[in-house]
Structure 1
Amino acid sequence: MEKQRPTHEIQIGKIRAAIWANKSKDHDLWFNLTLSRFYQEGGKWQSSPSFGRDDLPVVNKVIDMAYGWILRREAKINAVKNDSAQQGGAIR
């Protein structure tokens, strides 16, 4: 089984937001976000869900960019739904 991948990722420096698309049983779509901070330990890259004080401005920017991406994606999805409804079809 293939591992699920994020729908979209936004990264600035060592801070990354992964945006995940989810569907309900009724095929309604919504998005969730996970945040990670990357760091090197022993020459290997690791990730952490915790952030230091100096990470917070970048976290804020990444979240803002992710929010904008989600809003644009939802607007595009709604436009397709509206076009389909006007043409007599149903899309979810």
Structure 2
Amino acid sequence: MAKSTKQQPVHEIRFGAVKAAIWQNETAVGTRHNVTVSRIYKDGEDWKQTDSFGRDDLQLLAKVVDLAHTWIFENAA
């Protein structure tokens, strides 16, 4: 049986519990990038993630999104 390979982000930026994952997609018109953002937290013994952010997360969210934007433009082919 063939082993499935899960796509991985090409880059991640993280500050504290807030992270941005940058994904690369090849299209008919060239390489495109998408960004997903999340906040990680511990629930008992398990690590989980959410796309919900509190007031105190917003500055970190803005920072990781800004750095993701910079990374994409610096690494565009």
Give the TM-score of the pair, scaled to structure 1.
Answer: 0.77
Correspondence for 1:3 among 3, 6, 12 = 6
Partner residue in 1 for 2:19: 16
Q: Which runs of 4+ in 1 moved over 2 A?
A: none
Q: Which has the larger radius of gyration?
A: 1
More strand by share: 2
Equivalent residues in 2 for 1:1-92, closer than 5 Å? 1-24=4-27, 26=28, 28-74=30-76, 77=77
Q: Distance in 2 between matches of 1:3 and 1:35?
A: 18
More helix by share: 1
Q: What's the offset of the Cα at 1:23? A: 1.1
Q: Which runs of 5+ in 2 are unaligned?
A: none
Q: Distance in 2 between matches of 1:23 and 1:35?
A: 21
Q: Over the residues paired in the alignment, what is the CA RMSD in angstroms?
A: 0.9
Return the structure number with greater relative CO, CA threshold 8 A, min gap 6.
2
Q: Distance in 2 between matches of 1:44 and 1:36?
A: 16
Q: Which runs of 5+ in 1 are unaligned?
A: 78-92
Number of equivalent positions: 74
